[in-house]
Structure 1
Amino acid sequence: MSVSQRSGSLGSTEAALLDACISEAASPDGPGVAVAVLHKGRPVYQRARGLASLAHRLPLTDRSVVRIASQSKQFTVLMILMLESEGKLSLEDDIRDHFPWLPDWGSRVTLGHLASNTSGIRDILDSMIMAGIPITAPSSRSAAKAIVARQQGLNFEPLTDLLYSNSNFLLLSELIEKVTGKSFNEALEHYITGPLGMSDTQLMVRDDEIRPRLADHHRRGPQGQWLKSAWGIAIGGEGGLVSTLADMIIWQQNLREPKVGTAEMIERMGKPYVTINGVASPYGLGLVNTCHKGAPLVGHGGWIAGSRSESFRNLSEDISIIVLSNHDDFSSFGLARDMLDIVLGRSPGGLLSPEGIASLETRYGFWRSDDGGRVFGLEESGGLPAIVGSMGVSALEEPEVGKFHARGSLPAFVFWLEADGSIRTETFGRSRRYRRVEASRQTGSDPSGTYSSTESGLTASIGNVDGRWSMRVTSPFGTARLSLDACDADMYLARPSETDIHDQWHIAPWVLPWLYSVRIRSDAIVLNSDRGRDVVLTRLP
């Protein structure tokens, strides 16, 4: 029986099922998770399981401070909307009117484009990886802004596509400080956390800062052991906030019945901001629209520096789910939706039909688009078919019979299997065909040479070392040495060098199948990732 059928209470059976559900994401002697279920704004279930400190055996609680990662974006956007209501800016403003140091991209990029992830500006984290900047090494906000300022091209024309980019919210964070004359934390306290009494919700720029009740954050090491996790980059309103379960309950209550901001602002945040090729974008203004087994949800998730988080509200049932953690070895997106299933009296899982599983199992391998630039993989993960891209391995859902997409808030595309053996994808009404890369083609042609791009500031030197292709990428900001593994006759996948078992963590602090693809042309190489498209480096004489 659902929580709504119980007039707002949660039965012992549902509570026991929820307890079992979260136990799969956190053990009593490992890093933990803290979760809550709200009905009509009232908490009906709260649990914290696991440890805030493994060394000192301190339990995780609802007052433990953890990173909330990209959930920060909703706070940033609400402040932008509040500043707009004060007449200090407009979502229609060209960002270059506020920051003349940004390049002229040949298209007008507005604050609304930034807040809705439709600007086309390349993602700063993706750009840092391509530029050879180790995310674990200390770097400043000035360096991050300099990388954005070097981008002479966009992933796409504004409003013609949706691609998640932390650069958008980095710029909005900087704008808040410029317009208010306050630091981000001072503005956050003035506009949101002070009035709401969310005293533990603050911007923590770096992982070496010390805060009261701050939990250690964790990742899995190369032998499966727990290690402390920390990034070196300076993080702003794009993903740098820390909070507690107690504070995030207050925040969800404010999204339901605003005490700061207005109902109209909250509604704008949760509604699609743009229509792309006749299709409403799932990203609103700092909040995302998703659908789980027919239930519409509005919320946001996050993943950063040994933490994952998720929160959303099911408007039809007036149920909110919150998941926070101090480790990243689970899917907060999946856990939150499994919890919703239990609260609604449904069985979790069952996202792929038996027929869908059987058909996908025949298509394992690499798949490349007919236009040549994009690649993904299908493989088994956790006993079920999964899709693989540069951002990681994702479980699959089957929203319609025979149609599939990655299990996440912003899947890159929906796809289906064609009778001729190809795969057809669709994004905003635009389709693309992919064909399987046969094993006989996965040898790779000679990519040796030196390549450069004045636009990105990258130089890449490719050579063969001990029978293996490697690439050294340099930029004004850093250097990275990568291994190149053949994917197709003219395409390689760039991965951290295998000479050091910690290189993966050094360059990108998450486990990635590959950093980006490298397409070999006679005159250039073309780099593509899930968040960066068609970065061209021309072959030097």
Structure 2
Amino acid sequence: MSKMPADFAKRIDALFQDFQKPGSPGAVVAVTEHGQEVFANAYGLANINDDVAMNRKTILRIGSQTKQFTVLMILMLEAEGKLNLADAVQKYLPYVPVLEHPVTLAHLCANTSGYRDHLESMIFGGLSIFAPSTRQTGRDVIARQDALNFKPGSAMLYSNAGFFMLSEIVEELDGTSFNESLRRRITGPLGMDDTSLLIRDNAAMKRLAAHYTLRPDGFANLGWGLDLGGEGGMISTLDDMVVWQQNLFAPKVGTPAMYERMSTRWTFNNGATGAYGLGLVSDVYRGRRVVGHGGTVAGGKSESTRFVDDGLGIVIIANHDQIAPFSVARRIADIYFGNETPKPVTFAPGRYRQEGGSDVFEIVDTNGVATFLNAGGGGTFDFGAAHGPKPERGITDLVLVPRTDGKIDGTFCGMPRVFAPMQPAARAARPLAGKYRNSTQGFDVEITGDDSAGEFRMRSDLGALNAPLVAADKDLWFLLQPGADMRPGLPWTATLTVTGSGFEFNSDRIRKLAFTKI
């Protein structure tokens, strides 16, 4: 018997009301129950300039949902005896550097490799993500990594580099393009005729939506300049993504064993389990097992969520960046199941720093409820999570619990951490002014200023990046926004921690990038 309330459709429509206004980009959404569609709608415009309405046949970028398709093809190749997930990456990709510890294909699939995100490296190296670049640029950036973020298998940190490598392995072993392998192995047999890899944002295609960002003067087209692959380059429609989601419930392509492996939570070296499996995210929400993945690209976001034991499926695809589809999918589930909103946990607003480390986040009071903000973005908390409040994001292993002494207890990938309040208007123990270098990466940095503020200038063969610096603590500096389109709305994008020989650079997906003073 269906669990839907009588006003189910009306309440879902209300979640998308902001995108029903004239001149707004929009979204498509579908809800299925045991394989039957029980709700679907389209909101807003696929193309603002031409006043083209969004519909279920509109072709849209699905971003990092691509990763599940990439992993499935890797598992298919393993079943054919062409690879083993325990193989070292360098067996197939000699250009990938051997660093402190061996990295396997399984580590790549699970975001536990420790390899730094190559897109983030490109951006901070001075090559705008909106500037033209090729797959060879990506290989070059990966090839000169000089250290891992952490020991492989010990933690989970999102890395597009891992799925870049996996898509290259698919192409090498299949002897065809990623698109051709995708078509032959998955989308063709499933009849997903509108689903493929769109390598560049400037491609022309019938029914392809324009993708938008919101600026102070209104919506503007947004597109990346890089070549996209198995890390996030696919396009699809609502109809096709419903077909794909139903295939995950009842496989026609791939096997139940493959999808079970993909949705099994990774076990870290310390025995704790994480949210990420192999290309899929697995969690428990309000006591129910949920598996899915989201995607974010230039001017687009998506989410596919399955409550696997309840037969509920939710698909959301948007052609703009003004939506949090992971959270919206959970609000739809709340309506469906009749979940009550959990009581918010009280956090003292302010910035907090990891004791003995450089991780920093901010708690913001939003209409009387605490929200979370760090270099990777901001958003609400899931106050009903089993082990304590955690940021309501598609991929996170961070749990935070306030203490009576004003500090916050944290757990990240099973590792305990303590975060202490940071004092405002900090001054560093000494200015960072000077010249610095990371020779392996080919990065040269010049910093000017005093003990409270300065200017950061990065130069490399990729390009140049200039950004303000402000002191955050005696040994910690915030790198502020270098440009309006990088990560809009964030107060800082990276931290610089002073070391005996220079400084260490840390961002959301880059850790321990060391610079030596020259």
**Structure 1 and Structure 2 fold alike (TM over 0.5):** yes
Give the Å deviation of 1:104: 1.2
2:481 to 496, 519, 532: 496
Equivalent residues of 2:59, 2:236 under 8 A apart: yes
Equivalent residues of 1:458, 1:473 under 8 A apart: yes
Equivalent residues of 2:27, 2:316 under 8 A apart: yes
Hey, what does 2:280 align to over in structure 1? 287
1:19 to 6, 13, 16: 13
Hey, what does 1:320 align to over in structure 2? 313
Query: Which segment drifts farther, 209-218 or 420-429?
Result: 420-429
1:5 to 2, 6, 11: 2
1:387 to 372, 385, 389: 372
Equivalent residues of 1:52, 1:215 under 8 A apart: yes
Q: Distance in 1 between matches of 2:342 and 2:124?
A: 35
One-letter amino acid matched to 2:2: Q
2:480 matches 1:480:
no
2:354 matches 1:369:
yes
Query: Which segment drifts farther, 190-199 or 447-456?
Result: 447-456
Q: Could you give the per-residue CA deviations for residues 283-313 of structure 1, whole angstroms, max 9, x where no partner exists?
A: 1111001222222210001111101100111
SS at match of 1:68: strand
Hey, what does 1:77 align to over in structure 2? 71
Hey, what does 1:446 align to over in structure 2? 431
2:267 to 265, 274, 289: 274
One-letter amino acid matched to 1:436: P
2:220 to 206, 209, 227: 227
One-letter amino acid matched to 2:374: G
Equivalent residues of 1:136, 1:509 under 8 A apart: no
Query: Which segment drifts farther, 105-114 or 19-28?
Result: 19-28
2:303 matches 1:303:
no
Q: Distance in 1 between matches of 2:335 and 2:19?
A: 16
Cα pair distance change 1:179/1:511, threshold 3 Å: farther
Gaps of 5+ in 2: none
Q: Distance in 1 between matches of 2:352 and 2:151?
A: 26
Alignment of 1:235-254 (within 5 A): 235-254=228-247
Equivalent residues of 1:416, 1:423 under 8 A apart: yes
Give the Å deviation of 1:332: 0.5
Hey, what does 2:333 align to over in structure 1? 340
2:148 to 109, 131, 154: 154
**How many residue pairs were aligned?**
517
SS at match of 1:253: helix
Q: Distance in 1 between matches of 2:385 and 2:50?
A: 48
SS at match of 2:137: helix
Q: Distance in 1 between matches of 2:325 and 2:387?
A: 26
Q: Distance in 1 between matches of 2:493 and 2:98?
A: 28
Hey, what does 1:500 align to over in structure 2? none
SS at match of 2:484: helix
Give the Å deviation of 1:532: 1.3
Hey, what does 1:39 align to over in structure 2? 33
SS at match of 1:433: strand
Cα pair distance change 1:445/1:403, threshold 3 Å: farther
2:253 matches 1:260:
yes
Equivalent residues of 2:197, 2:229 under 8 A apart: yes
Give the Å deviation of 1:134: 0.4
Q: Could you give the per-residue CA deviations for residues 339-364 of structure 1, whole angstroms, max 9, x where no partner exists?
A: 111122335xx3442xx2xx31xx22
Give the Å deviation of 1:454: 1.9
Give the Å deviation of 1:88: 1.3
SS at match of 1:439: coil
2:390 to 369, 392, 405: 405
Hey, what does 2:100 align to over in structure 1? 106
Q: Distance in 1 between matches of 2:428 and 2:149?
A: 29
Q: Distance in 1 between matches of 2:312 and 2:406?
A: 42
SS at match of 2:380: strand
1:68 to 62, 70, 78: 62
SS at match of 2:296: strand
Hey, what does 1:455 align to over in structure 2? 440
Give the Å deviation of 1:273: 3.9
2:518 matches 1:533:
no
Give the Å deviation of 1:56: 0.9
Give the Å deviation of 1:281: 2.2
One-letter amino acid matched to 2:83: L
One-letter amino acid matched to 1:198: M
Cα pair distance change 1:437/1:325, threshold 3 Å: same
Hey, what does 1:96 align to over in structure 2? 90
When normalised by structure 2's length, the TM-score is 0.96
Q: Could you give the per-residue CA deviations for residues 27-72 of structure 1, whole angstroms, max 9, x where no partner exists?
A: 3531001000011112111100100011111100000011000100
Q: Distance in 1 between matches of 2:253 and 2:385?
A: 39
Equivalent residues of 1:94, 1:109 under 8 A apart: yes
Give the Å deviation of 1:522: 4.4
Alignment of 1:511-522 (within 5 A): 511-522=489-500
One-letter amino acid matched to 1:515: T
SS at match of 1:301: strand
One-letter amino acid matched to 2:187: T
Cα pair distance change 1:235/1:260, threshold 3 Å: same
SS at match of 2:257: helix
Give the Å deviation of 1:118: 1.0
Q: Distance in 2 between matches of 1:496 and 1:341?
A: 36
Q: Distance in 2 between matches of 1:59 and 1:444?
A: 57
SS at match of 2:384: strand
Equivalent residues of 1:34, 1:60 under 8 A apart: yes
Q: Distance in 1 between matches of 2:229 and 2:136?
A: 12
2:184 matches 1:177:
no
Give the Å deviation of 1:410: 2.3
Query: What root-mean-square deviation, in Å, do the aligned CA atoms of Structure 1 and Structure 2 show?
Result: 1.9
Structure 1 runs (4+) deviating above 6 angstroms are none
Q: Distance in 2 between matches of 1:473 and 1:496?
A: 14
Query: Which segment drifts farther, 261-270 or 165-174?
Result: 261-270
Gaps of 5+ in 1: 498-502
Cα pair distance change 1:416/1:68, threshold 3 Å: same
Give the Å deviation of 1:140: 0.7
Cα pair distance change 1:263/1:103, threshold 3 Å: same
Query: Which segment drifts farther, 512-521 or 114-123?
Result: 512-521
One-letter amino acid matched to 1:333: F
Q: Distance in 1 between matches of 2:19 and 2:396?
A: 23
Cα pair distance change 1:509/1:228, threshold 3 Å: farther
Q: Could you give the per-residue CA deviations for residues 384-429 of structure 1, whole angstroms, max 9, x where no partner exists?
A: 3111111111211223699321111222411122222222211233
Equivalent residues of 1:456, 1:535 under 8 A apart: no
Q: Distance in 2 between matches of 1:158 and 1:68?
A: 28
One-letter amino acid matched to 2:270: N
Cα pair distance change 1:267/1:522, threshold 3 Å: closer
SS at match of 2:332: helix
One-letter amino acid matched to 1:255: L
SS at match of 1:280: coil
